[in-house]
């Protein structure tokens, strides 16, 4: 896994260049947002169970057909697998948040997801919606705790949403 600093340094090392104003600005931004990223990760950690319950409740309220016979969350096993996946997205987005890089999402979540979901006939739209719900719930919690830097949380969630939306799953 690469963090934001490692990614910047690797990019400049590969081209044999010194850090320029752009790189220094990116590094400054990473460090200046560090405390907010850690606070948000702590909120996610402390509220993970509630965030997951709320996201699942909203998803199944919006798309009850998922729970009906023939739906992708029908049966206890499939329902549990869906909840496991939602938790997986939340956990890995918190890692990306702390590292300031979406690299871990590419490596640990997105690579191979297409093949897995195709083999299991998992529909992508409810998956994308569950990730959107996670983001919305966390943003609401940030509002309650008067944390203004929602842009920090948006990057990893939007990276997942955009990548999954682009894939032909």
pLDDT at 165: 86
pLDDT at 122: 87
Do the annotations mark residue 118 as ligand-binding? no
pLDDT at 163: 92
Do the annotations mark residue 82 as ligand-binding? yes
pLDDT at 85: 95
pLDDT at 33: 94
pLDDT at 100: 94
pTM tops 0.85:
yes
**pLDDT tens digits along 53-66:** 999 999 999 999 99
Burial of 89 (0-12, 13-18, 19+ CB in 10 A): buried
Task: Show the low-confidence residues of the chain (pLDDT under 70).
Answer: 114, 167-169
Do the annotations mark residue 103 as ligand-binding? no
Query: Going from the N-terminus, what domains does the chain have, and what CATH number goes with each?
Result: 1-32 (no CATH), 34-166 (1.10.490.20)
pLDDT at 167: 53
Instruction: Using the structure block, give the residue that is written with the tokens 């008067």.
Output: 146
**Pick from 115, 114, 41, 122: which is nearest to 84 by CA?**
122
């Amino acid at each position: 896994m690469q963090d934001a600093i490692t990614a910047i340094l690797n990019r400049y090392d590969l081209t044999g260049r010194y850090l320029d104003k752009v790189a220094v600005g990116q590094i400054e931004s990473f460090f200046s947002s560090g405390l907010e990223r850690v606070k948000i990760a702590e909120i996610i950690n402390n509220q993970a169970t509630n965030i997951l319950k709320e996201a699942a409740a909203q998803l199944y309220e919006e798309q009850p057909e998922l729970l009906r016979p023939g739906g992708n969350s029908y049966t206890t096993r499939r329902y549990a697998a869906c909840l496991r996946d939602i938790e997986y997205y939340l956990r890995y987005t918190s890692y990306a948040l702390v590292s300031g890089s979406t690299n871990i999402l590419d490596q640990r979540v997105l690579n191979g997801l297409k093949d897995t979901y195709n083999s299991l006939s998992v529909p992508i739209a409810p998956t994308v919606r569950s990730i959107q719900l996670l983001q919305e719930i966390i943003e609401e919690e940030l509002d309650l705790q008067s944390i203004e830097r929602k842009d920090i949380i948006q990057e990893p969630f939007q990276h997942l949403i955009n990548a999954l939306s682009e894939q032909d799953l």
